Every structure is written in C-alpha cells, then in structure tokens.
Amino acid sequence: MSNEQEPVKSKTSIAPKRGVIRKAGGVARYVLWDTPKNMIGYEVLKTNTQYLAQQAKALKSPSCPNCNQSKLTLNSDAEGVRETYENGETQDFYHWDCGLCKHSFLLPLDYQEAKELAKEQRNETVKNIINDIPDDDLMQFAKVHQVNSRVFYLFSLFSFFIFAYMLATGANILPITATLCISIALFTNGLTKAYRYWQAVNRQVFIDNSFQQWLRLWNWFV
C-alpha cells in the first residue's frame, strides 16, 4: 500500500468587501439624490413651503382684539369652555392666545367664527376707547382727517383737469387712463378721510348703517 497522502485543498473564503459596497452606495446616493437635490434647491423649497403654509394658516387666524397687531394662535393645551344659552343650546369656546400682548380670548374653534367674534370684541374695545377720549383731543384727531381730505380732493381735481386736457388734445389712451385712475384713487381717499372726520366728530364708530347715514347727509366735503 502506498502511504501517499492526498493533498489537502485549502479553501479560502472571500468575505464581501463591505467597505467598497458602502462607498459605492454613498457615491450612488450623491449622484442620484444629493446632487439633483442641491441643484433644484430642495432644502430652500422645503423651507419656503413650510413658511408659506405657516403664513396661510396665520391669515386665517383672527387678529388680536386687544392690540390688533398680531394674530391669535389656538392654545391646544388649555381646556375649552362649554357655554349653555337660555334656549338650551350650547357652544364650545377655546383659548386663543396673542403672542405679542400676551392676552388670551375665548373664541370658537372654527376660524371664521373666531374671526367674526374677535372682530366684534375689537369693535367694542375701540368704541370704549373713543368714548373715553376728551372732546379737545378728539377734535385734534378729527382735524388731521379734515386736512387730509381737502388735500386729496385738491390733487384729485388737479388730476382730473389733466385728464380732461389730455382727452381734449387726443393724447395716447394709456396715459389718459392712468391719469383718470389716479384722479379716482385720490378722490376715494378724500371721501375716506371725510368719513373718518365725521365719525370722530360724532363718535359714530362701528354703528350699523352709519356710512349710509353719512352719504345721505352729504357731508362729503369738510
């Protein structure tokens, strides 16, 4: 018998080169995702979209009845209050906070209903403020609107004369139209200031049909 031994075949296991695969994946991510994302400004678009969404939500929110300088935000952590009316109907109110003046108001959950109620509360606040103003101070405030009204009327009349002259001389339609629009805008501002003057003098603020009453009295020029 032969004592020859069979050669032992050594098996060398080749482990997967995970480092290479990881690097290849990183390159693929950079080429297929990071580079196009940076080219189109993905992060900027994402930030702008979030900002626009916040602004759109803020536009729906009611204004603060106290300072009228900031929008109210719904305080979801505070418990609501259920109010029961004499007819048996109930309505839930929730805490809306102002981040500027730090006041809190009980308003409905619906944005539109909250805006209407906040506007009513703001109107009552302004009415109380105006009623507490002395007559002399109120007249000084009204005087400003009176002067502004006359200035707007004067420039409106001047613009209308220019419009009539350009129309008579056959000028181009574009400057004629622009001059007429300017004259109308100035006249509208004059009307607004005259109405504010009448409101201040008579303390007619947030009263139903006060504008129609002002028109009937022909107090357009002050």
Q: Would you state the pLDDT for residue 222?
A: 64
* Chain-centre distance for alpha carbon 94: 22
84 falls within a domain? yes
My answer on whether 142 and 184 are in the same domain is: yes
Residues 67, 120, 74, CA angle at the centre, nearest 5°?
60
Count of domains observed in the chain: 3
Q: Which residues contact 160 (CB under 8 A, 6 or more apart)?
A: 180, 183
Residue 136, pLDDT > 90, answer no
186 falls within a domain? yes
Per-residue pLDDT of 197-220, as tens digits, reads 888 888 777 666 677 777 777 777
Given 31, 60, 89, the domain boundary residue is 60
Comparing 181 with 100, the larger pLDDT belongs to 181
Residue 119, pLDDT > 60, answer yes
Residue 57, pLDDT > 50, answer yes
My answer on whether 138 and 212 are in the same domain is: yes
Indicate the DSSP class of residue 8: P
4 falls within a domain? no
My answer on whether 209 and 170 are in the same domain is: yes
My answer on whether 137 and 99 are in the same domain is: no
My answer on whether 36 and 46 are in the same domain is: yes
Q: 52 lies in which domain range?
A: 19-60
**Percentage with pLDDT > 70 across the chain:** 71
My answer on whether 137 and 208 are in the same domain is: yes
- The CA-based dihedral angle spanning residues 38, 44, 45, 49, taken in that order and rounded to the nearest 10 degrees: 160
126 falls within a domain? yes
Per-residue pLDDT of 91-118, as tens digits, reads 889 888 888 888 888 888 888 888 888 8
In this prediction, residue 14 has a pLDDT band, given cuts at 50, 70 and 90, of very low
pTM attached to this predicted model: 0.50
Q: Would you state the pLDDT for residue 182?
A: 95
Residues 77, 81, 84, CA angle at the centre, nearest 5°?
165
Given 94, 114, 131, the domain boundary residue is 131
